A and B are shown apart, each in its own frame.
Chain A
Amino acid sequence: MNPILTFIVILIGFYGLATSNNIIKSVFSVTIIESGVILLFLNLGNLEGGAIPILNDQVSYIVDPLPQALMITTIVIGSTVTALALMLCIKIFHHYGTVEWKEVLGRKDVKS
């Protein structure tokens, strides 16, 4: 896969952030950017026909294991962020009755 394609995925995410008026869509956009980054790094660390990175004397042509190790951490962090953001969305819906940015940010403080 061409790295340019992953950049397109990232740009789609930014497009979503810059245009959507819905909080949940913004959360999705951030997730899309993150998927793009993960794809980019895995893609750059990949070798065509490389073996899995388990140390073994017979195999010398192996895929770089570091990107995979790092990206699994990123995925974990990403899922935390998504979970937290969606929880906040639910709470915002309870307080304001909507998840539109404009209405949520425009309204004066509502006493809970």
Chain B
Amino acid sequence: MSQIPVILIFLPVLTALFIYLFKWRHMHLLALLTQTGMTILAIVYFLHFKDQFEATHIILGGWSDVRIGISLANDGLSMAFIFLTLFMWWSVLTYLYRFGKTEHTFLFFLMFLQGVFLGLLQSNDLFNLFVFFELTTIIVTILIAYKKTGESFRAAIYYLLLNTSGVLLFLIAIVMLYNLYGTINIRVLSEVIHTHADTTILKFAYVLMMTGISVKAALFPVFTWLPKAHGVAQSAISALLSGLIVKGGIYLFFRINFLFESAGLPYHNIFFILGLLTALSGIIFALAQKNIKLMLAYSTVSQIGLIIMGLSSPDITTFYGGVLHTFNHALFKALLFLGAGVIIAVYRTKKLDEIRGVFRTMPIISVMMIIGMLAITGMPFFNGYISKSIIKYGFEDSVFRTLALYLVNIGTTTLFIKMSHIFFGPKMLSYPMKHRQQNITLLLLALACLVFGNFYVEIMDAFFGIDYAHITRISLGGLLDYGITVIIGILIYLYVLKKDVKLVKGIREFKISFETANILFIALLTVLTFYFVIL
């Protein structure tokens, strides 16, 4: 029973090896079988340890010294992320399923990535965190490059080099912490972190870790790899990357903040500002694009900014609002990316101007996409509204923060008003049969959006024990807010974006070279060092 975390890591990896070694036609079914087994195991584990997460700490290899062994541990947050991971893999695997056809190499990397990601979530020592962190980078690079076009290769190497240098900063921080405390076990470390007298090195280690995580989580100056990678990968991979793998960075963001909690570092304001800048720059770039995948990718950047704004709050309810938004974003962004993937496959183009009449051609997929769009823009009854309301509720006493939140939301609404143009127009082409089974996946994700929009009180109570009964499903103020936001969005669209003024064109063609991305990366490191260590 207590060894289930180890099984959760190794089962997908072993399945991946099995798929690659014995290339049978129906291997995809084996992957689905493994997925079923893992889901059952995770549920059993969660129900068993629900009230005693302290007991989940396991040291591998029978090592008696808690301070240096390889260890795994779980709590409510990691369990919630494990269920999200399993759900996302369910969606991607069912989306990719073709009867009697299996792409073995692709499936190998996909299943391997799942094991590695589950390891990242459950790892309780810093060095294994680094190993899993780097392994996700490597496998994701391969998955980005999998289409074997020039564009995907250049996106892959951009991603690999930028993220590896980020992860190496994380490693330097681990070296420093080991040198100070003689342990890399997160639970032990979080108890002793305030005991050391030399806080300068401690702060510097925190800064290095946060800079490394910022690259992975695509924070403000270092998000440039994300649209490149998410824009060129296959739609299923884009959904996985946007929905989950970026959240690996966010997961580490609050894990490391928990670790340094007793050191009392003043991280709340600076990360609020960084989150705001991420959200604004993401949405500005998104609005200027004309490629639907790039629009969705930049929208991911802006939503990550929103999540970081919530997570950097000192108030625990607002913090869990950020966590809830992480889940909601995973659901609706996966829905949008997968829906867009079907549309792109049928129309054979990614250009917004060339796709028209989707509603007549594919009514079911259009309804799902519209559900996703309503969810991301924050319509009452859908999940985006709930998490945005929680964050808004937490920012109520600060005018600046509330305004910032409204600004980001107006941007998102405008973006999806722009994108909704694909639905109008006459039927253009017939819709091939082979895409029909993907409706099931989209239906699953759309249902999840509705479930999270209506049963959030029960879900949050089960995992985190936080009561959100004060956030109502629907209120007059909420509807009014949404209506006003939509009207402002339509006005911005009609008077600024539709005319394609010079500024919009300039933003669309604005490119950041690799050297500049690295200079921005070093600049972020310098700013954080200045803020935490010197001030």
Please report A residues at the B interface, Cβ cutoff 8 Å.
10, 13-14, 17-21, 23, 26-27, 30, 33-34, 37, 40-41, 44, 66-67, 70, 73-74, 77, 80-81, 84-85, 88-89, 91-92, 95-96, 101-102, 104-106, 109-112
- Among the 9-residue stretches B113-121, B377-385, B405-413, B507-515, the one with 4 or more Cβ atoms under 8 Å from chain A is B507-515
Question: B522 touching A14 by the CB < 8 A rule?
Answer: yes
Least CB separation from A93: chain B residue? B153
Contact for B161 among A27, A37, A110, A111, CB less than 8 A? A27
CB of B359 closer than 8 Å to a CB of A: no
Contact for A70 among B127, B137, B153, B164, CB less than 8 A? B127
Instruction: List 21 contacting pairs A-B, 8 Å CB cutoff, sorted by A.
Output: A14-B522, A20-B515, A26-B161, A30-B165, A30-B168, A33-B168, A37-B175, A41-B175, A44-B175, A67-B175, A73-B127, A80-B138, A81-B138, A81-B160, A84-B160, A88-B156, A95-B153, A96-B150, A106-B511, A110-B150, A111-B149
Enumerate the 7 nearest inter-chain pairs by beta-carbon distance, A residue then B residue, closest first: A95-B150, A17-B518, A88-B157, A101-B514, A41-B175, A109-B151, A18-B518
Least CB separation from B148: chain A residue? A112
Residues in chain A near residue B168, CB distance under 8 A: 30, 33-34, 37
For the complex, what is the distance from the CA of A51 to the CA of B135, rounded to whole Å? 33
CB of B11 closer than 8 Å to a CB of A: no
Question: B178 touching A18 by the CB < 8 A rule?
Answer: no
CB of B141 closer than 8 Å to a CB of A: yes
Known contacts: A81-B134, A91-B153, A101-B514. The answer to whether A37 contacts B172 by CB under 8 A is yes
For the complex, what is the distance from the CA of A41 to the CA of B172, rounded to whole Å? 8
For the complex, what is the distance from the CA of A27 to the CA of B165, rounded to whole Å? 10
For the complex, what is the distance from the CA of A101 to the CA of B157, rounded to whole Å? 10
Residues in chain B near residue A14, CB distance under 8 A: 165, 518, 522
For the complex, what is the distance from the CA of A48 to the CA of B511, rounded to whole Å? 51
User: What is the distance, in angstroms, from B179's C-beta to the closest C-beta of chain A?
Assistant: 5
Residues in chain B near residue A21, CB distance under 8 A: 515
0 or 1 for each of B132-167: is its CB under 8 Å from A? (1 = yes) = 001101100110010011110110111011001100
For the complex, what is the distance from the CA of A101 to the CA of B515, rounded to whole Å? 8
For the complex, what is the distance from the CA of A26 to the CA of B148, rounded to whole Å? 21
Question: A104 touching B141 by the CB < 8 A rule?
Answer: no
Question: B134 touching A77 by the CB < 8 A rule?
Answer: yes
Question: B131 touching A77 by the CB < 8 A rule?
Answer: yes
User: What is the distance, in angstroms, from A46's C-beta to the closest C-beta of chain B?
Assistant: 12
Main secondary structure of the interface of A (DSSP, over half): helix
CB of B171 closer than 8 Å to a CB of A: yes
Least CB separation from B126: chain A residue? A70
How many residues of chain B are within 8 Å of chain A by beta carbon? 36
Residues in chain B near residue A101, CB distance under 8 A: 513-515
Least CB separation from B157: chain A residue? A88
Least CB separation from B168: chain A residue? A33
For the complex, what is the distance from the CA of A19 to the CA of B519, rounded to whole Å? 9
CB of B68 closer than 8 Å to a CB of A: yes
Residues in chain B near residue A44, CB distance under 8 A: 175, 178-179
Least CB separation from B232: chain A residue? A109
Known contacts: A37-B175, A105-B514. The answer to whether A95 contacts B149 by CB under 8 A is yes
Given known contacts A20-B515, A33-B165, A81-B137, what 9 new A-B pairs fall within 8 Å (CB)? A14-B518, A18-B515, A23-B157, A40-B175, A44-B179, A77-B131, A85-B160, A104-B154, A105-B511
User: What is the distance, in angstroms, from A29's C-beta to the closest C-beta of chain B?
Assistant: 8
Question: B514 touching A26 by the CB < 8 A rule?
Answer: yes
0 or 1 for each of B511-535: is its CB under 8 Å from A? (1 = yes) = 1011100110010000000000000
Residues in chain A near residue B519, CB distance under 8 A: 18
Residues in chain B near residue A18, CB distance under 8 A: 515, 518-519, 522
Residues in chain A near residue B161, CB distance under 8 A: 17, 26-27, 30, 85
For the complex, what is the distance from the CA of A40 to the CA of B179, rounded to whole Å? 11
Least CB separation from A33: chain B residue? B168
Residues in chain A near residue B154, CB distance under 8 A: 92, 96, 104-105
Question: A73 touching B514 by the CB < 8 A rule?
Answer: no
Residues in chain B near residue A92, CB distance under 8 A: 150, 153-154, 157
In residues 149-204 of chain B, which contact A (Cβ within 8 Å)? 149-151, 153-154, 156-158, 160-161, 164-165, 168, 171-172, 175, 178-179
User: What is the distance, in angstroms, from A1's C-beta to the closest C-beta of chain B?
Assistant: 15
Residues in chain A near residue B171, CB distance under 8 A: 37, 74
Question: A112 touching B160 by the CB < 8 A rule?
Answer: no
User: What is the distance, in angstroms, from A90's C-beta to the closest C-beta of chain B?
Assistant: 9
Residues in chain B near residue A105, CB distance under 8 A: 154, 158, 511, 513-514
Least CB separation from A108: chain B residue? B151
Known contacts: A80-B138, A102-B513. The answer to whether A66 contacts B178 by CB under 8 A is yes
User: What is the distance, in angstroms, from A8's C-beta to the closest C-beta of chain B?
Assistant: 13
Question: B138 touching A66 by the CB < 8 A rule?
Answer: no
For the complex, what is the distance from the CA of A26 to the CA of B138, rounded to whole Å? 17
Residues in chain A near residue B515, CB distance under 8 A: 17-21, 101
Residues in chain B near residue A88, CB distance under 8 A: 141, 145, 153, 156-157, 160
Residues in chain A near residue B175, CB distance under 8 A: 37, 40-41, 44, 67
In residues 38-72 of chain B, which contact A (Cβ within 8 Å)? 68
Residues in chain B near residue A77, CB distance under 8 A: 131, 134-135, 138
Residues in chain B near residue A73, CB distance under 8 A: 127, 131
